[in-house]
Structure 1
Amino acid sequence: MSADRFISSFAADLEEYLGFKEQMGFYGYSRIVYLQRFDAYCTSHSLRVFNRATVEGWVSSELDRSATSRSWMSYIRDFGRWMRAHRDPDAYVLSDRWKAGFTRTRPYLLTSSEIERFFTAAVRVEAASPWAWQAVGFFSLMHCCGLRTGEARRLLASQVDLDLRQIEIIDSKARRSRRLPITEEVVAVLAACDQASRSRFGPREPFFISSTGAPVNPSSVGVIFNRIWDQAGLPRPTGGRQPQPYAFRHHFAYANLQRWMKDGTDVTAMLPYLARYMGHATFDSTYYYIHTSPDFLDSYADVVAASQGMLPEVGFE
């Protein structure tokens, strides 16, 4: 990228900070866009000190432009942490009071029996499309690797290395990327899926494919999930939380937490690995899964409190 993308008195710091993020595997374009806005603000106001007035002045100006989302605040907050660690111990870190409050909905919690019956039905799902042979592989990645639905949909054949037993998730949420190891069982499932797709379509770019050779679309994932669920004879709640594909990602998270708790493993020590594996920008997203299962809410009541201030954030968010 151009060396003059920043022109304020913080230009050199911003460039070095982005280099640090890239070394950590974070290449998000939106981060650059918002930091360029911050840079332009500092230039127009002749600001040279990274203090509260500078940071909150820019944040206020951005909120005047659009108050629909505050996720971009993590970029300037993270840059403040980097500045404090590498440049100025008095650098200002944006206060959490700027975070917008919101209430997360509780997910549908899959049981072991539901998962077993689902995959038993997925093997013989009635579908005229490639879902007939790729449904097991698609939902196995969500269940065994905690992938987001979109990450599985956008997975390319070139990003699946069955010999090295790993997959590459490129430019996912907030343009973050990560490499994930997969088990021999998952390798076997993906190998069968790949062989069937190759015999039908030949070499292809998407790993999971539609009847037209394009990547599968979001609506088809929900359709095939519901079809498998119904063919498995699984009941549906009459109200409240409903089963959906994303429930596999939730299950991956809290099943690991339960396993660590059962084995006596230090959960606070393992959370950074779980956050990195799942592609979370901060531990806030990972902490959420601590509260998804009523079976161990009380057991984990002190995990978040004990973890705050102890765990390094993965790549400074």
Structure 2
Amino acid sequence: MNGPRFTSKFAPELERYLAFKENMGFHGATRVWYLRNFDRYCTERNLDNLDRATVEGWVVWRLPSHQEGSRSWISCIRDFGRWEHATGNVDAYVLSDRWRVGNVRPQPYLLTNEEIVRFFDAAAQLVIRSPWRWQGSAFFTLMHSCGLRTGEVLGLTPEDVNLGEGTITIRWAKGNRSRQLPLTGQVIDVLAECDRTSREIFGADRTAFFISTFGTPVRREAITDAFHRIWDQAGLPHPIYGKQPRPYDFRHHFAYANIERWMAEGTDVNAMLPYLARYMGHGSLDSTFYYIHTSPDFMNGYADIVREGQGILPEVGFE
């Protein structure tokens, strides 16, 4: 693309915001397209204040061409406002949730224990020339055993993975929330082996913990390709109809597998839910309930847990 991407008074902030997102592993061209559209709107009107009139004015101006379907395109300007606010512009307007429309969340593919075992056996023996040969097990272990989002794994740097202390630090995750998570010994071993190989091939100063063949951060599109390559090598079938397996299903499995384990052990699920929500980076227990309601074994007790006490659960943290 010739010339600067942005021309409005917000150009420097927009460039810094995109650089931040790209460093976190988010390289989507769609985000750039919509932000350029916002930038052009502001340039034509000589707007220089990221206030409610500017942000909602752009949204209202664009809405006629988006009468049907999702308003997910709005999320880019909401996220930009949050980033501005978090980086010092306390007067930046964050688009209100009233602009959201109800979207049906995709139902997860419920992974079986056999599928998980076969998947990770295949990941450990993946036949491929790219870094996925040694990174696959570690990447999907963090989704399966720690319940991380895809973007959170992509955003990890070597400094975020503290194998000596057995922790990882998730920075600026969904909702601009950061958190530090403890790891089990098995997860530490998997990450240590991955890190050792990456250091031998790419050196100790790589910019991301998980990297591409070119030594750059892994692109989001590569995750699905790697997942399905491992799935196919494991000889696991793809359903002809209905739900299809996705990397994100490991995060779903993490949530409801913990709930089922606590119920089987007789542990007070009510007392444990805030810890699960904090570990997964949820802003509220409602988000956690969405993940765990998919468990068939959990549904019988779901109503009782909801009724008994979201209001009396203690605040928790891992710092």
Structure 1 residue aligned with 2:287: 285
User: 1:271/1:61 Cα in 2 relative to 1: closer, same or farther (>3 Å)?
Assistant: farther
Does the aligned pair in 1 maintain the 2:111–2:253 contact within 8 Å?
yes
The number of residue pairs the alignment matches comes to: 244
Query: Under a length normalisation based on structure 2, what TM-score does the superposition of the two structures give?
Result: 0.69
Structure 1 residue aligned with 2:310: 308
Structure 2 residue aligned with 1:254: 256
User: 1:310/1:216 Cα in 2 relative to 1: closer, same or farther (>3 Å)?
Assistant: same
Unpaired runs of 5+ residues, structure 2, are 1-49, 64-70, 82-96
Q: CA deviation at 1:121?
A: 0.5
User: 1:210/1:62 Cα in 2 relative to 1: closer, same or farther (>3 Å)?
Assistant: closer
Distance 1:305 1:184 in 2: 36
Does the aligned pair in 2 maintain the 1:122–1:228 contact within 8 Å?
yes
List aligned pairs for 1:39-118, cutoff 5 A: 68=71, 100-118=101-119
Q: CA deviation at 1:314?
A: 6.8
Structure 2 residue aligned with 1:220: 222
Q: CA deviation at 1:102?
A: 3.9
Alpha-carbon displacement from aligned partner over 1:8-55 (angstroms, at most 9, x marks no partner): xxxxxxxxxxxxxxxxxxxxxxxxxxxx847x99xxxxxxxxxxxxxx
Structure 2 residue aligned with 1:244: 246
Does the aligned pair in 1 maintain the 2:285–2:310 contact within 8 Å?
no
Distance 1:272 1:65 in 2: 41
Q: CA deviation at 1:65?
A: 7.5
List aligned pairs for 1:100-249, cutoff 5 A: 100-203=101-204, 204-249=206-251
Larger-gyration structure (1/2): 1
Does the aligned pair in 1 maintain the 2:252–2:292 contact within 8 Å?
no
Structure 1 residue aligned with 2:266: 264
Distance 2:220 2:186 in 1: 26
Counterpart residue identity of residue 205, structure 1? T
Counterpart residue identity of residue 152, structure 1? V
Distance 1:172 1:162 in 2: 21
Does the aligned pair in 2 maintain the 1:283–1:313 contact within 8 Å?
no
Counterpart residue identity of residue 250, structure 1? H
Query: Under a length normalisation based on structure 1, what TM-score does the superposition of the two structures give?
Result: 0.69
Unpaired runs of 5+ residues, structure 1, are 1-35, 42-59, 76-95
CA RMSD of aligned residues (A): 3.1
Does the aligned pair in 2 maintain the 1:282–1:314 contact within 8 Å?
no
List aligned pairs for 1:25-36, cutoff 5 A: none
User: 1:159/1:201 Cα in 2 relative to 1: closer, same or farther (>3 Å)?
Assistant: same
Structure 2 residue aligned with 1:86: none
Give runs of ≥4 in structure 1 deviating > 6 Å: 60-63, 69-72, 96-99
Q: Secondary structure at the match of 1:179?
A: strand
Does the aligned pair in 1 maintain the 2:169–2:180 contact within 8 Å?
yes
Q: CA deviation at 1:66?
A: 8.0
User: 1:290/1:305 Cα in 2 relative to 1: closer, same or farther (>3 Å)?
Assistant: farther
Does the aligned pair in 1 maintain the 2:259–2:298 contact within 8 Å?
no
Distance 1:247 1:144 in 2: 12
Q: CA deviation at 1:218?
A: 1.0
